[in-house]
Chain A
Amino acid sequence: MLLLTSIGILLLVAAIAPLLVRVFRSASGWVLALVPLSLFAGGIGTLQMLSGTEAILEQWTWVPSLGIALSFRLDGLSLLFSLLITGIGGMIVIYSGGYLRGTPKLGRFYAYLFLFMAAMLGLVLADNLIGLFVFWELTSISSYLLIGFYNEKDESRRSALQALLVTGAGGLALLAGIILIGTIAGSYEISYLLSNATDVRQSPLYPAALLLMLVGAFTKSAQVPFHFWLPGAMAAPAPVSAYLHSATMVKAGVYLLARLAPVMGCCGEWHYLVMLAGSVTMFVGAVMAVVQTDLKRLLAYSTVSALGTLVLLLGIGTELSVKAAMVFLLVHSLYKGALFMIAGTIEQKTGSRDVRQLGGLLKILPLTGAAALLAALSMTGFPPLLGFISKELMYEAQMQAPAAAPLILVLGVIANALTITVAIIVGIRPFLFARDRRPAELRIPAPAMWIGPLLMGLGGLLFGLFPGLISNILIEPAVQAVRAEQVDVDLKLWHGINPVFLLSMVTVALGLVFFFFRRKGRSLVAQLRLPGGVTPSGMYQSAVDALPGVSAAVTRVVQSGNLRGYLMIVILAFLVLVLRALLAVPEWPAMPSLAGVTFHEYGIVLLILAATVMVLVVRARIAAIAGLGVVGLGIALLFIMYSAPDLAITQILIETLTVVIFVLAVSRLPRLRKRSPVRTRMRDALIAVMAGLAVTLLSLLAVGVQLFPKISRYYADHSLSDAFGRNVVNVILVDFRALDTLGEVTVLAVAAIGVFALLKLRLNGREKV
C-alpha cells in the first residue's frame, strides 16, 4: 500500500491544491511543501530496509486480460529517484510560493506541479512497463501544462507544444518498444524481465525493441538530435525549469536506460548507440551552452550536456561507470536545480537574465549568492564538494569505454571544461565580479526563495566532505539495481595524486581559458551558425508548418464533398477486394436449377427488373424514387415467399419511410437539367454491373460454403429454452446478439444527429447571409 498511497496522496493534493491556496494564501508554499517533504522523510526511512538487491513489491490487478497490472517496485534505483523527486520537489514547492507570490493562477500552478510529481513518482516506482508508460505520458502532459503556464504568451504556448510533440512522439516509439519487449518475454513486469533477461536479448526482435526504447529515452532526456525542445522549454517559470527540466523529468530517459540496462544492455548495439548519443550530446550541449548569454539558456544547454554525460556513462555500462552515473545524477540534480532557482531569483529581482548585464550581486543577495557559489563550485568539480568526487569517477569510467576510449575521454575533458566555464558565467561572475554592473536598488528576496537553493548547495558540500553518508545506503543499492549484482560502493574524497586528479587539474585550467575567451567563442559560433533548414529544430519547425497544408491536401482528395464520388469509391473498393477473393476460388458450385421456380416468382422478378429499367430511364427524380420503391417492395414480396416475415415487414416499412424521406429531400434539390455525358454514364454502368455481378457470385458461393457448423442451428435450438422466445430472429436481436443491436442503434442515433446537424447548420449559415 505504501507506494500506491504515496502517489495517491500527491494526486489528491493536486486536486485540492487550488482550494488549499485559497485557504493558506501566501503561506501555501510552506504548507504544501510538507507533503513531498514527509514523503521524502518516509523514503529516508526505507533506506535501511533496502540492503543488497532486494526490492519492495506491490501489486494490484488492473487489466489482467492484457497482462497489465498496477504494480510497483521500490529498489535502490527507484529510491534514489524518489528521494530526488520528493526532496527537491519540497524545495521547489517552497520556492514557487515566493517566486509566484501574488499570481492569481498559483492554485492552478500547484495543481499541475503536484500532478507532475505524482506522475514522476509513479514512473520511477512502476514495476509494469505499461504502467511506466502511462506515468511517462502523464509527465509529458503535465510538463506541457507547466511550460505553457504563462498561457497568454505566444512563445510559452509554442514551446509547450514543441516539448509535447517531441516527447510525445518519443513516447509512441517507447510504447511500441514496450509492446515488443512484452511480446518477446510474455510479461510486462520489470521484476520478471530482470530475471529472464536472456530471453529478451536473444530474440530476433531485440534490435527493434532496443531502438524504439532508445528513441523514447533519448527524446525525453533531450539527446541530440532531439535536444532542441529543452532550451525551448525555458519559457516555463523558473521553478518548473529547475524541477522538471533539470532535476527530474528530463532524467526519466536516463532512469529508463538504467532500469532496463540489466535487461537490454548487453550487446554491441546497446553500447555503441547509447555511447554515441551520449558523447555527442555531452559535447554539443557544452559547446552550445557557453555561447549563450541568457542565464536560463546557458543552464538549459549545460543540462543537455549533463544528460549526455549520464547517457554516455550508462552506455559504457561497467560497474564503475554506473557508479559514476549514479553519483553524477545526484550531484547534477542538486547543483542544477539550485542554479535554476537562483537564475529565477536574479531575473525577478534585477529584471534581466542577460549575463552580460549582471554583476556584483553578492552584496545585495548574500544568501542567494552563497547558494550560487556552493552550487557553482560543485558544478566545476572543485574539492571538497561532491562534484569533485563525481568528476573523478567520471574520468575513470570514461577510460573504461569499450570503444574509442581516448576520444571519449578527450570529449569528456572538453565538455567538463566548458561546464566549468558555464558555472563561472552563471554562478560566480554575476555575484563576485563585474561590480560596476550592480543594479542600484533591489528588493530583498523572501526566505522561500533562497532556502531551497542554499540547502541544495550545502548538500553538495556535506556529501562531498562526508561521502560515507550516501555511498553505502543510497548509491550502493542504486548501482546494484542497475548492475543486477552485488556491488561495493565506497566513495572517497581524496584519491591521491593520480592520472585522474591530473586530468581534473587540466580541466580546471581549460575551463578558465575558455572563460576568458568566451566572447571570441560567441562570435565564432555566430559565424558558424547552420542554416535553419538543417538544424533539428528547423526540421521540426518545417514539419509542423507543413502539416496543415498536407492535411488540407488529403482532405481535398478524400472529402471532395461529391456524394456520387464517395459512393463510387466505396463500391470500387468493395469490388477490388471481392473480385480478388473470387478469382482465387478453386471450384465453383454448379448453377442452381431453375426448374422449381413458379410462375408468380417469375412475375415478381420481372416487376423488379422493369422498375429498375424505369429508374434508369425516367428524367424526373420523383419517378425514379417511386421506381426504387417498387424494387424494394418486390424484394419484400420475395422475402415473404421464402418465409422471412420479419425481414419482409422491415423491408416494407423501410421502403415506405425511405420514399417519404427521399421525396422530402428531393424536393429541395434543383431539377435535373441534363444528364451526365455518355462516357460517364458508361463508366457508372460498368461499375454498377460489376458490383451486381460480384454480389451475385458472392451469394452463389455463400450458399455452398460451410466453414463452421451452422450457428443458426444453435440459435434455433436455444431460442426457446434459454431466452423464452419462439421468434429466433428477434431473440437473436434482443438477446443473443443484443450488444450488436445496441451498437447498431447507437450508430443510427449518431447518423440522425449528423443529418440534423447538417441541415440545421446549413440553414443557420443561410440565415446569416
Chain B
Amino acid sequence: MPSIILRIAARTLTPTLFVAALILLFRGHNAPGGGFIGGLLAAAAVTLYAMANGPSSARQLIRVTPRTLMAIGLGIAFLSGVPSLFLELPYMSGQWVTLRLPFVDALPIGTALVFDIGIFIAVIGFVLTIFFALTEAEEEEVR
C-alpha cells in the first residue's frame, strides 16, 4: 500500500495539476505551453493518482481506456484540418474567427486550437497506454 502522505498529496495535487495542464493548453498559443506540454502534465497528474491509489482507480478516474483517448485525440486533430478543404485551401490551413464577447478583449479562435486540443488528448492517451500496460503487467505478476 502506498504511503498515506502520497495519497493525501495526490488528492489535492491531481486536480491542481490537471487545471494547470488545461491552462498550459489554452495559453499555449501566446505563452509557453500548448497541447503537447499540457497533455504531458495531465498524464503526469493521472500517473501520480495511479501511484497513490492504484491503476484500477486511476482507470475509473478517466473512465475511457487510454487507447480510446488516443483515437479521439488523433481524430480531433485530423478533423481540425478538414474545414479548410471546403474553402478550397490545402488541408490544415488554419481558419480563424474572432470571438467578441462583452467585457473581454476580442478573442481569435481557430482550428489550430482544435488541433491542439486533439494533441492534448492524444498525448494523455499515449502516455497512459504505456503506463497502464506496465503497471498492470506488474500487478498480474505479483498475483
Chain A contact residues, CB within 8 Å of chain B: 645-646, 649-650, 653-654, 656-657, 660-661, 664-665, 667-668, 722-727, 729-731, 733-735, 738-739, 741-742, 745-746, 748-749, 751-753, 755-756, 759-760, 763
**B11 is an interface residue with CB less than 8 A from chain A:** no
Q: Which of A650, A660, A725, A746 contacts B36 (CB 8 A)?
A: A650
Task: Kindly count the residue-residue contacts between A and B in the assembled complex, taking CB atoms under 8 Å apart.
Answer: 147
Chain A residues within an 8 Å CB radius of B24: 649
Q: Which of A730, A742, A756 contacts B81 (CB 8 A)?
A: A742
**B64 is an interface residue with CB less than 8 A from chain A:** no
Q: Is the CB of A753 within 8 A of B67?
A: yes
Q: Is the CB of A665 within 8 A of B134?
A: yes
A739–chain B nearest beta-carbon distance, Å: 5
Q: Is the CB of B141 within 8 A of A734?
A: no
Q: Is the CB of A759 within 8 A of B137?
A: yes
A243–chain B nearest beta-carbon distance, Å: 44
Can you give 16 A-B contacts (C-beta < 8 A)? A649-B24, A653-B40, A653-B41, A664-B138, A724-B108, A727-B30, A733-B34, A733-B36, A734-B28, A738-B81, A745-B126, A752-B126, A752-B129, A756-B129, A760-B137, A763-B137
Q: For the complex, what is the distance from the CA of A726 to the CA of B28, rounded to whole Å?
A: 9
CB-CB under 8 A for A745 and B119, given A724-B96, A738-B92: yes
Q: For the complex, what is the distance from the CA of A749 to the CA of B121, rounded to whole Å?
A: 11
Q: Which of A653, A724, A738, A749 contacts B126 (CB 8 A)?
A: A749
Chain A residues within an 8 Å CB radius of B44: 653, 656-657
Q: Is the CB of B40 within 8 A of A752?
A: no
Q: Is the CB of A664 within 8 A of B135?
A: yes
Smallest CB-CB separation from A747: which chain B residue?
B126
Q: Which of B32, B77, B92, B141 contacts A727 (CB 8 A)?
A: B32
Q: For the complex, what is the distance from the CA of A755 to the CA of B67, rounded to whole Å?
A: 12
Chain A residues within an 8 Å CB radius of B49: none
Q: Is the CB of B122 within 8 A of A654?
A: no
Q: Is the CB of A657 within 8 A of B127?
A: yes
Q: For the complex, what is the distance from the CA of A42 to the CA of B125, rounded to whole Å?
A: 59
Q: For the complex, what is the distance from the CA of A759 to the CA of B138, rounded to whole Å?
A: 10
Q: Is the CB of B122 within 8 A of A745?
A: yes
Chain B residues within an 8 Å CB radius of A724: 29, 96, 108, 110
**A-B interface, 7 closest residue pairs, ranked by CB to CB distance from nearest:** A645-B32, A653-B40, A725-B29, A726-B30, A664-B134, A730-B34, A752-B129
- Interface of chain A, helix or strand or loop or mixed? helix
Chain B residues within an 8 Å CB radius of A742: 74, 77-78, 81, 92, 115
Q: Is the CB of A725 within 8 A of B112?
A: yes
**B94 is an interface residue with CB less than 8 A from chain A:** yes
Q: Is the CB of A649 within 8 A of B43?
A: no
CB-CB under 8 A for A727 and B33, given A745-B77, A745-B122, A753-B129: yes
Mask of B90-131 contacts with A, CB within 8 angstroms, 1/0: 011010100000000000101011011001001101110111
Q: For the complex, what is the distance from the CA of A734 to the CA of B110, rounded to whole Å?
A: 11
Q: Which of B40, B115, B130, B140 contacts A755 (CB 8 A)?
A: B130
B143–chain A nearest beta-carbon distance, Å: 11
Q: Is the CB of B30 within 8 A of A668?
A: no
Smallest CB-CB separation from A755: which chain B residue?
B130
A660–chain B nearest beta-carbon distance, Å: 6
**B14 is an interface residue with CB less than 8 A from chain A:** no
Q: Is the CB of A734 within 8 A of B126?
A: no
Q: Is the CB of B133 within 8 A of A730?
A: no
Most buried by A among B43, B73, B96, B134: B134
Chain B residues within an 8 Å CB radius of A752: 66-67, 70, 125-127, 129-130
B21–chain A nearest beta-carbon distance, Å: 10
Sort chain B's interface into a size bin: 35 or more
CB-CB under 8 A for A723 and B112, given A742-B81, A745-B77: yes
Chain B residues within an 8 Å CB radius of A727: 28-34
Q: A664-B135, A730-B28 are in contact. List 13 more A-B contacts (CB 8 A).
A: A646-B32, A653-B40, A723-B110, A725-B29, A730-B33, A733-B34, A734-B115, A735-B110, A741-B77, A742-B78, A748-B123, A752-B125, A756-B133
Most buried by A among B41, B67, B94, B125: B94
A304–chain B nearest beta-carbon distance, Å: 51
Q: Is the CB of A660 within 8 A of B47?
A: yes
Q: For the complex, what is the distance from the CA of A654 to the CA of B43, rounded to whole Å?
A: 11
Smallest CB-CB separation from B71: which chain A residue?
A749
Q: Is the CB of A668 within 8 A of B137?
A: yes
B106–chain A nearest beta-carbon distance, Å: 10
Smallest CB-CB separation from B30: which chain A residue?
A726
Q: For the complex, what is the distance from the CA of A745 to the CA of B127, rounded to whole Å?
A: 11
Q: For the complex, what is the distance from the CA of A645 to the CA of B33, rounded to whole Å?
A: 8
Q: Which of A645, A650, A748, A755 contacts B133 (CB 8 A)?
A: A755
Q: Is the CB of B134 within 8 A of A646?
A: no
B10–chain A nearest beta-carbon distance, Å: 13
Q: For the complex, what is the distance from the CA of A667 to the CA of B141, rounded to whole Å?
A: 11
Chain B residues within an 8 Å CB radius of A726: 29-31
B76–chain A nearest beta-carbon distance, Å: 11
Q: Which of A649, A741, A753, A760 contacts B32 (CB 8 A)?
A: A649
Q: Is the CB of B37 within 8 A of A735?
A: no
Most buried by B among A654, A656, A756: A756
Chain B residues within an 8 Å CB radius of A760: 133, 137
Q: For the complex, what is the distance from the CA of A656 to the CA of B127, rounded to whole Å?
A: 12
Q: Which of A738, A745, A755 contacts B112 (CB 8 A)?
A: A738
B6–chain A nearest beta-carbon distance, Å: 13
A195–chain B nearest beta-carbon distance, Å: 35
Q: Is the CB of A646 within 8 A of B34?
A: yes
Q: Is the CB of B91 within 8 A of A668?
A: no
Q: For the complex, what is the distance from the CA of A760 to the CA of B36, rounded to whole Å?
A: 27
Q: For the complex, what is the distance from the CA of A751 to the CA of B123, rounded to whole Å?
A: 12
Q: Is the CB of B40 within 8 A of A749?
A: no
Q: For the complex, what is the distance from the CA of A739 to the CA of B94, rounded to whole Å?
A: 11
Q: Which of A654, A664, A730 contacts B131 (CB 8 A)?
A: A664
Complex interface residues of chain B between 24 and 78 (CB less than 8 A to chain A): 24, 28-37, 40-41, 43-44, 47, 51, 66-67, 70-71, 73-74, 77-78
Chain B residues within an 8 Å CB radius of A748: 122-123, 126
Q: Is the CB of A759 within 8 A of B81?
A: no
Smallest CB-CB separation from B80: which chain A residue?
A738
Q: For the complex, what is the distance from the CA of A722 to the CA of B47, rounded to whole Å?
A: 37
Chain A residues within an 8 Å CB radius of B108: 724
Q: Is the CB of A723 within 8 A of B130?
A: no
Chain A residues within an 8 Å CB radius of B96: 724
Smallest CB-CB separation from A668: which chain B residue?
B138
Q: Is the CB of B37 within 8 A of A653?
A: yes
CB-CB under 8 A for A755 and B129, given A654-B40, A734-B115, A749-B70: yes
Chain B residues within an 8 Å CB radius of A656: 44
Chain B residues within an 8 Å CB radius of A739: 81, 91-92
Q: For the complex, what is the distance from the CA of A745 to the CA of B121, rounded to whole Å?
A: 11
Chain B residues within an 8 Å CB radius of A733: 34-36, 119
Chain B residues within an 8 Å CB radius of A646: 32-34, 37
Smallest CB-CB separation from A650: which chain B residue?
B37
Q: Which of A654, A660, A734 contacts B119 (CB 8 A)?
A: A734
